[in-house]
Amino acid sequence: GVAAVIGAVIWWQVTPLAAYTRTSDNATMDEAQLAKQFGTDGWFLVVGSAAGLISGLVLVLLRRRNPILMVLLVTVGGAFATAVMLQLGLLLGPSDPSSVLAHTPVGDKVPLQLKPDAHGVWFAWSISALFGAILALWISEAREDSSRRHPALPGYGPGEQVFLNRP
């Protein structure tokens, strides 16, 4: 929950929003504003992917009792975080342009809402959390393997006596 709120605030702060320009009978958007429309989706993808990867990695490294359950939980948690991030984006960002344009003077700009148009980016948090969880499992497995391969030298454990042959 907290990571999703932080992610939404970051997304809100870094995303340049495209804006309509009010005309006498309608509203238009020039090429530069059309290009900004992709920024909303792109920044949502970047923030969601980074947060998902970090949350999946950290949570599975901290909670290793039941790794399969943790992988499932971070994936479902990613879906919840995405929903929180989407809703906060709507709350933090500007209102729906269609409700504002009727009262906007000619020549003024009205920004779009902070919401992604590409619905595929909604899966970024869950997928990257899954990758983070898998990475955490791989790291913890590598640690366990290395400790099994390099045991303490025989004869140097607690309670054992070591005899040195001196000439």
pLDDT tens profile 61-93: 888 778 888 888 898 999 999 999 999 999 998
Average pLDDT, the chain: 85
Identify the pLDDT of residue 23. 87
Separation of alpha carbons 15 and 75, rounded Å? 25
User: Under a CB-based contact definition with an 8 Å cutoff, are residues 112 and 95 in contact?
Assistant: no
Separation of alpha carbons 106 and 166, rounded Å? 99
- Which residues on neighbouring strands pair with residue 111, listed in sequence order? 19
Identify the pLDDT of residue 142. 74
- Average pLDDT, integer, range 38-53: 94
The residues, any chain, with a CB within 8 Å of residue 17's CB and separated by 6 or more, are 36, 39, 40, 93, 94, 111, 112, 114
* 158 vs 124 pLDDT, higher one: 124
Separation of alpha carbons 96 and 85, rounded Å? 17
The yes-or-no verdict on residue 155 having pLDDT over 90 is no
Q: What is the pLDDT of residues 109-136, one digit of tens each?
A: 999 999 998 999 999 999 999 999 999 9
Task: Name the one residue in this structure whose structure tokens are 């955490």.
Answer: 136
